[in-house]
Amino acid sequence: AQSVSQHNHHVILSEAASLELGCNYSYGGTVNLFWYVQYPGQHLQLLLKYFSGDPLVKGIKGFEAEFIKSKFSFNLRKPSVQWSDTAEYFCAISGGYNKLIFGAGTRLAVHP
């Protein structure tokens, strides 16, 4: 079955702390990988995506993710978070027809 698992449902960090959000997926074929972010009251935005090539992907706002095919993982990282990173983060995969399969999401709260 196709699925996405996000390891942490809630994460609380202080500003300047490093962030790593885990994402593992199950998919029987070639897959595209995404991280989306939903800031409070705003629409879902794409943080970064992986289609092929360099498995280390850099996105907006200093985020990056590494695709490790052998581990079926696509973890999101940021070296130093800011209060403005408080949001909900979704890992997603797609195969055919660009239908996205989402993880349950991780709510990140960053305290000043």
Burial category of 100 from C-beta neighbours within 10 Å (exposed 0-12, middle 13-18, buried 19 and up): middle
Binding mask 54-93 for another protein (x = CB under 8 A): ------------------------------------x-x-
**Cβ neighbours around 27 below 10 Å, total:** 17
User: What percent of the chain is helix, strand and coil (3-state, nearest 5)?
Assistant: 10, 55, 35
Taking CB under 8 A as the rule, does residue 35 contact another protein? no
Instruction: Please provide the distance, in angstroms rounded to a whole number, between the alpha carbons at the two ends of the chain.
Output: 41
Taking CB under 8 A as the rule, does residue 46 contact another protein? yes
Contact stretch for another protein (CB under 8 A) within 42-50, 56-64, 69-77, 79-87: 42-50
Closer residue to another protein in complex, CB, 28/112: 28
Which residue ranges make up the site for another protein (CB under 8 A)? Answer: 4, 6, 9, 32, 34, 36, 42-46, 49, 51-52, 90, 92, 94, 96-105
